[in-house]
């Protein structure tokens, strides 16, 4: 079996590494990949950008790729799945129209509202003055979201009117997120605890993945600016049996059914960012149309079944026949970012990595390889990931691993996993 993983981040390193563990997988190609994927056995980086769909189609044909797995959101929103399917190529992910669930916050919120799927109260705006007036009426804290894709950074929690006005003007007047911020959603601030609920969806089946919890804020104690994610662990104790049932019956199943009813059938990974209250009730914060990053890293450490095979099952609508097994241990990943992230940061720092064990792994995100030396090449750069007998053990192993990494320009939270302890 030949596999193509599309993307260049830590998620794609984890997805490709997981597939490469299995004997039935002959080879994994990653387009474009990073230094981490370049150093793996059975994995080859391909110098094609994740958004260059025509070249990816041509490569998949030329190499007779059996299954393609899309990591990031941008190619999905551009319609990569539609084009692969047109060419008779197997690919796992939602179509362009279905990917609007992530591609447009306005589309998503309107969809949730008309289908009575629980979510925060909201209003959509394109006019800054009207948006500011709405915040003045509602008060703070309040949540402001750029409508389009902003690499996980288009969500601002404004704790004062001043912060809200700044965020609104930044998006609508100063065009901070380009087209992604030409309209925005303002929604009520929800109290509770967040969890990442990820499932695989085929034409007629839904297969839940292991539960996980992300840490979006840059600094310890969930303080500081929002980021793409600073660490995650799996399983998430907050997802009790009751929460699991509520997530499936009140969010996931109704979403998949409603998409089908509206003529936009959904297949692919579906990630619901959920807010969970003290009674186990859930509300949708956001949908992503792919695996989360960094949740993928600890989840892939625990997945003992070949992911590529599961994706093939999903494309053939035989997901019900798939047997999935998980490592019972807890996995935790800590993101090492470049100092200054998510604002301006330095690139090009040399990094030296330790030898890892069967229960530890350093996944690469923003890295490049030059003459056998690894250099930082992005905002989120590494994810030190471990397996432990419980959350505390996994946390200790991940931070012990970080202490062995030589990189002077790094920044990381020292409390990943604190909510579950």
- Report pLDDT for 177: 62
Q: Do 383 and 358 share a domain, yes or no?
A: yes
Q: Do 70 and 31 share a domain, yes or no?
A: yes
Per the domain annotation, does 115 fall within a domain? no
Range of the domain at 316: 193-321
Q: Do 245 and 344 share a domain, yes or no?
A: no
Rg (Cα) of the chain, in Å, rounded?
A: 20
Write the pLDDT tens digit of every residue in 359-392: 999 999 999 999 999 999 999 999 999 999 999 9
Q: Do 244 and 169 share a domain, yes or no?
A: no
Per the domain annotation, does 118 fall within a domain? no
Per the domain annotation, does 106 fall within a domain? no
Q: Do 207 and 277 share a domain, yes or no?
A: yes
Residue 300 pLDDT > 60, yes or no? yes
Per the domain annotation, does 416 fall within a domain? yes
Q: Among 156-165, 173-182, 226-235, which is the least confidently predicted range? A: 173-182
Write the pLDDT tens digit of every residue in 77-135: 999 999 999 999 999 999 999 999 998 888 999 999 999 999 999 998 989 999 999 99
Write the pLDDT tens digit of every residue in 157-168: 999 999 999 999
Q: What's the CATH code of the domain at 344?
A: 3.90.600.10
Per the domain annotation, does 107 fall within a domain? no
Q: What's the CATH code of the domain at 20?
A: 3.40.50.20
Per the domain annotation, does 113 fall within a domain? no
- Report pLDDT for 352: 98
Domain count of the fold of the chain: 4
Q: Which of 321, 346, 365 is the last residue of a domain?
A: 321
Per the domain annotation, does 348 fall within a domain? yes
Cβ-based burial of 200 (10 A; exposed 0-12, middle 13-18, buried ≥19):
buried
């Amino acid at each position: 079996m030949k596999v193509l993983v599309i993307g260049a981040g830590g998620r794609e390193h984890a997805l490709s590494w997981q597939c490469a563990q299995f004997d039935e997988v002959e080879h994994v190609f990653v387009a474009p990949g990073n230094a981490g994927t370049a150093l793996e056995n059975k994995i080859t980086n391909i110098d094609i950008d994740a958004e260059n769909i025509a070249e990816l189609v041509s490569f998949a044909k030329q190499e007779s790729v059996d299954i393609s797995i899309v990591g990031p959101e941008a190619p999905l929103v551009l319609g990569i799945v539609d084009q692969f399917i047109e060419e008779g190529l197997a690919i796992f992910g939602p179509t362009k129209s279905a990917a609007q669930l992530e591609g447009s916050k306005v589309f998503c919120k309107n969809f949730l509202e008309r289908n009575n799927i629980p979510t925060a109260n909201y209003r959509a705006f394109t006019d800054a003055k009207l948006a500011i007036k709405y915040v003045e009426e509602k008060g703070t804290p309040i949540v402001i979201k750029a409508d389009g894709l902003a690499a996980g950074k288009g969500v601002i929690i404004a704790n004062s009117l001043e912060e809200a006005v700044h965020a609104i003007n930044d998006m609508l007047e100063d065009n901070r997120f380009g087209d992604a911020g030409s309209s925005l959603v303002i929604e009520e601030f929800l109290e509770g605890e967040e969890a990442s609920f990820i499932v695989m969806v085929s034409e007629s089946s839904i297969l839940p993945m292991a539960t996980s919890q992300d840490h979006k804020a840059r600094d310890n104690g969930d303080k500081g600016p929002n980021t793409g994610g600073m660490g995650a662990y799996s399983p998430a104790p907050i997802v009790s049996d009751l929460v699991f049932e509520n997530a499936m019956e009140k969010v996931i199943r109704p979403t998949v059914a409603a998409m089908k009813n509206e003529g936009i059938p959904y297949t692919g990974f579906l990630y619901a960012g959920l807010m969970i209250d003290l009674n186990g009730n859930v509300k949708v914060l956001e949908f992503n149309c792919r695996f989360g990053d960094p949740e993928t890293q600890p989840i892939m450490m625990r997945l003992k079944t070949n992911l590529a095979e599961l994706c093939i099952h999903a494309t053939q609508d035989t997901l019900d026949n798939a047997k999935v097994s998980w490592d019972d241990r807890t996995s935790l990943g800590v993101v090492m970012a470049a100092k200054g992230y998510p604002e301006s940061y330095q690139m090009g720092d040399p990094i030296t990595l330790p030898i890892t064990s069967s229960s530890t792994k350093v996944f690469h995100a923003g890295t490049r390889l030059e003459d056998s030396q690894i250099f930082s090449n992005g905002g989120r750069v590494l994810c030190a990931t471990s397996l432990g007998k419980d959350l505390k053990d996994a946390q200790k192993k991940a931070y012990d691993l970080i202490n062995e990494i030589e990189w002077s320009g790094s920044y990381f939270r020292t409390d990943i996993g604190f909510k579950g302890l």
